[in-house]
Amino acid sequence: MHPHHGSHSDPTFRSRPRATGEVVRRVAVYLRPYKLMAFGTVSCAVLSLASAFVYPKLWRIIITDVITEKHYDWLTPAALGLIGAFLLRELFNSLRIRINNSLEQNVIFDMRRDVYARLQRLPVPWFDQRASGDLMTRIIEDVNNVERLLIDGVEQGTVAVLSIAGALVFMTLSSGTLTLVSLIPVPFLVGGALWYTLTAHKRYRAQREASSAMNALLMDNLQGIRQIKAFGRQTHEDERFAQRADDLRRGSLIVMRAWANYGPAMQFFGSFGIGLVLWIGGLQVIHHKMDIGQLVAFTVYAGMFFYEPIGRLHGLNQILQSARAAAARVFDILDMPEERSDRRGLLQQPVRGEIVYDAVTFSYVQEERRSPAPAVAQPERRVLQNISLHAAPGQMIALVGPTGAGKSTFVNLLPAFYEATAGIISIDGQDIRGIALESLREHISVVSQEAFLFNGTVRENILYGRLTATEEELFAAARAANCHEFISKLPNGYDSRVGERGVKLSVGEKQRVSIARALLKNAPILILDEATASVDTATEKLIQEALERLLANRTSFVIAHRLSTIRRADQILVLRQGQIVERGTHDELMTRDGLYARLARIQGTTFIEEGFEKLEVG
Ligand SMILES: Nc1ncnc2c1ncn2[C@@H]1O[C@H](COP(=O)(O)OP(=O)(O)OP(=O)(O)O)[C@@H](O)[C@H]1O
Ligand SMILES: [Mg+2]
C-alpha cells in the first residue's frame, strides 16, 4: 500500500467515501437549471461526430470508385465533400466549446455558492474541529474537480458511447468477421477499466487529503507569521511545509503512476485491435473476399470511432474517480445539518432583556462525540456546572474569575454559539432553544475578547453593525465609542483600510472600532468580553467612556477584568472551575468578606486576575 501519510493522519482532512452512483446522481442535479445548454453542447458534439462519420465513407469512394474503378470525375466532389465534412466538424466543435465553457462556469459558480452558503450556516462547534485551509481546499479545488466530471463526463461520455454504437453498426454492415476480430481486445479493455475504477478512488482520496493538509498548514502559518519570525522558526516551518508538500508530491505521483500504466496499456489494446483487423482484413483482401477501400474504411471506423472513444472513456474514468474523491469532500459540507435549520419562533417584540439561566450545565466533549470518528475518547469535563442566574432588564452582570473558569463559555451559550448540555436559558421567558437563531442573534451584540475586524475600510467595519445606517448614525456611533478622533486622523479617514484581522490598528483602536460596531447594532442585550490587554491610562479612559455608553439601557454580560468596570455591576458572579462561588453587588460581596473581597482589597490591583494570582501564590 501507500507509504505513510503522517502529516494528514489528522481526521479533519478525511471525508466519508461515496459510491460513484451517488456522486454522479447528486452532481447531475447541478445540470438541471441548464438543460438547454447541456442539450446544446451534447447536440453540437453529436453533430460534429456525425460530420466525422461521413469521411470513412468518402475515403472508400476515393479508393474504390475513383482509383480502382476509375470514375475520375468523382474525385473533386469527394475531396470537396471531405473538406466540407472536416469544416463542419470543427464548426460544431467551436460552438460546443463555447456553450460548454458557459455551462461549466455556471455550474462551478452554483456549486461554490451552495457550499459556501452551507458552510456559513454550520454550527460553531463544527468549525472548532476543522482547519480553515482544509475547508478552503474543499471549496476551491474540490469543487473544480467535481465540475470536470459534469462537463467532460456528460458531453464526452455521450459522444463516446454514441460513437462506439454507431461504429459498431457501420462495422457490422461492412464486415461481420472483422467486427468480431475487432472485439477481441474488448475483455482486456473492460478488465483494465474495472481495475482502475476499483483502485483509483483510494489514491485520489489520499492525494486530496494531502492537498488539504498542505493548505491547512499554509493557512495556519500565514496567520502566525509574526510568531514564526519572533521565535525564529523559519527553518523549522520550511521543513514542516516541505513535509506536507512532499506528501502531496508523493500522492500525486502515485495517482499519475497508476494512470501512466493504465492509459498506455489501454491504448495498446486499441492499437492491438487495429493490428488484428489489418492482419485478418489483409488476408481477406488477398483472397478477394473484400476490396481495399472497404478495408480502409473499416479500419478508420474501428480506429477513429471505436477504439479511440473507448480510450476516451478510460480518460473519463480517470476524471470520474478524481471527481468522486473530491465530491465526497464537498458533500461532507453540503450534508452537514445547519445549526437549527428548522423554522422556529421569533423573539417577541419589544425585547425587554430579562435573562434567566436555569441550572445550566455545559461540556465541550459532546460535540466531538457527535462526529463520526472521535480521535480519542475523552472523559467528559464539565466546563459549566449548574449555573443559575436571573438578570432583570437593563441590569449589568459582571463575570469574574480566573482564566479558564468558563466565563467566555458562559456568554457563548446566550447567542447559541454552543448549546447547553442541560438546563434552560431564556430571554423574556422564552426558551432560546425555541427561538430562530436569526431573531435571537439580532437582539444580542457581541464585543469579543479579541476584537476581530474584517479586511476592508474602517467604515465598512463599523457599518457591519447595521448595513443600512446613515452617515450621521455612523459618525455618532464612532463618537460614542471614542474612535471618531483617531479615525479622522488616519490618512484616508473612514476609508482607510484596516488590513487582515485589523492588523493596521492598535489593540485599543481595534477595540473601540468594535465597540462602535456594537453601538451601531444597538441591540437590547450586550455581551462584552473585555480584552485583558493593558492600554495607557488615557486610552483606558476613552475605552471606559465608550463602554459606559455601550452599556446604558441594555441588559449586559460583561466579562470584566478592570475593577473599575466591575464595581458598577448590578450583580457580580465569581466563577471558579465552572461554578458560581460567590454572587452579589460589589458592596454586598465586600461585606461578605469572601474571595472577591480579598481580591479587591489587594493593594494596587487594577485587573482582577492579578488578585487571583496573588492569592494563589500567597
Ligand atoms: N472550543 C472549545 N473546545 C473545547 N474546550 C474549550 C473550548 N473553548 C474553551 N474550552 C475549555 O473550556 C474551559 C473554559 O474556557 P473559557 O474560554 O470559557 O475560559 P474563560 O473563563 O473565558 O478564560 P479567560 O479569562 O482566559 O478568557 C477551558 O478549560 C478551555 O480549555
Ligand atoms: Mg475568555
Question: Nearest residue CA, atom 5 of ligand 1?
Answer: 364
Task: Say if CB 151 and CB 107 are below 8 A apart.
Answer: yes
Ligand 1 atom closest to residue 407's alpha carbon, by position in its atom list: 21
Q: Quick one: three-class SS letters along 522-591?
A: CCCEEEEECCCCCCCHHHHHHHHHHHHHHHCCCEEEEECCEHHHHHCCCEEEEEECCEEEEEECHHHHHH
Kindly tell me if the per-residue pLDDT of 375 is higher than 70: no
Instruction: Give, as one character, the DSSP assignment of residue 345.
Output: B
Q: Which of 408, 527, 528 to mutate to test the pocket of ligand 1 (most atoms within 8 A of CB)?
A: 408
Rounded percentage of the chain residues whose pLDDT exceeds 90: 40
**Ligand 1 lining (C-beta closer than 6 Å):** 128, 364, 383, 401, 403-409, 449
pLDDT of 179: 94
Kindly tell me if the per-residue pLDDT of 599 is higher than 90: no
Question: Nearest residue CA, atom 22 of ligand 1?
Answer: 408
Tens digits of per-residue pLDDT, 426-441? 999 999 988 888 889 9
Contacts of 440 (CB under 8 A, 6+ apart): 347, 415, 416, 427, 432
Nearest to 532 by CA among 560, 551, 554: 560
User: Grid coordinates standing for 396?
Assistant: 449589568
Nearest-angstrom CA–CA distance, 311 and 331: 30
Q: How far is the CA of 418 from the centre of ligand 2 (A)?
A: 14
Q: How far is the CA of 529 from the centre of ligand 1 (A)?
A: 13
Kindly tell me if the per-residue pLDDT of 378 is higher than 60: no
Tens digits of per-residue pLDDT, 248-288? 999 999 999 998 998 899 889 988 999 999 999 999 999 99
Q: Which of 407, 421, 573, 575 to mutate to test the pocket of ligand 1 (most atoms within 8 A of CB)?
A: 407
Mean pLDDT of the chain: 86
Contacts of 580 (CB under 8 A, 6+ apart): 387, 388, 389, 573, 574
Ligand 1 atom closest to residue 561's alpha carbon, by position in its atom list: 25
Q: How far is the CA of 123 from the centre of ligand 1 (A)?
A: 17
C-alpha dist (Å) from residue 167 to 158, 184, 459? 14, 16, 66
pLDDT confidence band for 28 (50 / 70 / 90):
confident
Q: Kindly list the structural domains of the chain, giving each domain's residue range(s) and its CATH number in brackets, ordered by start.
A: 6-335 (1.20.1560.10), 355-443+523-617 (3.40.50.300)
Task: Say if CB 413 and CB 419 are below 8 A apart.
Answer: yes
Question: Nearest residue CA, atom 29 of ligand 1?
Answer: 404
Question: Nearest residue CA, atom 6 of ligand 1?
Answer: 364
Tens digits of per-residue pLDDT, 79-112? 898 899 889 989 998 999 899 889 889 988 999 9
Kindly tell me if the per-residue pLDDT of 20 is higher than 90: no
Tell me the one-letter amino acid at 276: L
Kindly tell me if the per-residue pLDDT of 117 is higher than 90: yes
Rounded percentage of the chain residues whose pLDDT exceeds 70: 92
pLDDT of 384: 93
Q: 402: left (phi > 0), else alpha (psi -120 to 50), else beta?
A: beta
**Nearest ligand to the C-alpha of residue 407?**
1
Tens digits of per-residue pLDDT, 141-165? 999 888 887 777 777 888 899 899 9
What are the beta bridge partners of residue 555? Answer: 525
pLDDT of 607: 63
| Average pLDDT of the residues in 411-432 | 92
Nearest-angstrom CA–CA distance, 61 and 238: 67
pLDDT of 550: 80
pTM listed for this prediction: 0.81
